[in-house]
Amino acid sequence: MEYEFSTGSFFVGLLILAVGVAFVKWYQVIADNFGSGVSSYDHYRLYALITCGLGLIVMVNLHTMILKWFFSLLFPGGA
């Protein structure tokens, strides 16, 4: 597995990161409207931080390496 930078993945990851940052900023409003209010604030904040982490992983194009590693565990001997 060799690392290769991708401009497309960078911009997609940047968009995911921007959505995650907005989610972190307004997680209480989102939890009030879509969740069960105050009792789900921590869950929504966790989901927002996971979204930011996923955006960073996609931004530096590590998601392809992680997916190749995962599927090679499931299907050994593949290409």
Question: What is the distance between the alpha carbons of residues 48 and 23, in angstroms, rounded to a whole number?
Answer: 5
Domain membership of residue 55 (yes or no) is yes
- pLDDT tens, position by position, 3-24: 788 899 999 999 999 999 999 9
Domain membership of residue 42 (yes or no) is yes
Domain membership of residue 37 (yes or no) is yes
DSSP label at residue 75: S
Number of domains in the chain: 1
- Three-state DSSP at 29 gives helix
Range of the domain at 56: 7-74
Domain membership of residue 1 (yes or no) is no
- pLDDT tens, position by position, 36-45: 878 889 999 9
Under the banding of pLDDT at 50, 70 and 90, the label for residue 1 is low
Which whole-number Å values give the CA distances from 29 to 20, 43, 46, 52, in the listed order?
Answer: 14, 13, 15, 18
- Residue 5 in tokens: 């930078």
Domain membership of residue 41 (yes or no) is yes
Domain membership of residue 2 (yes or no) is no
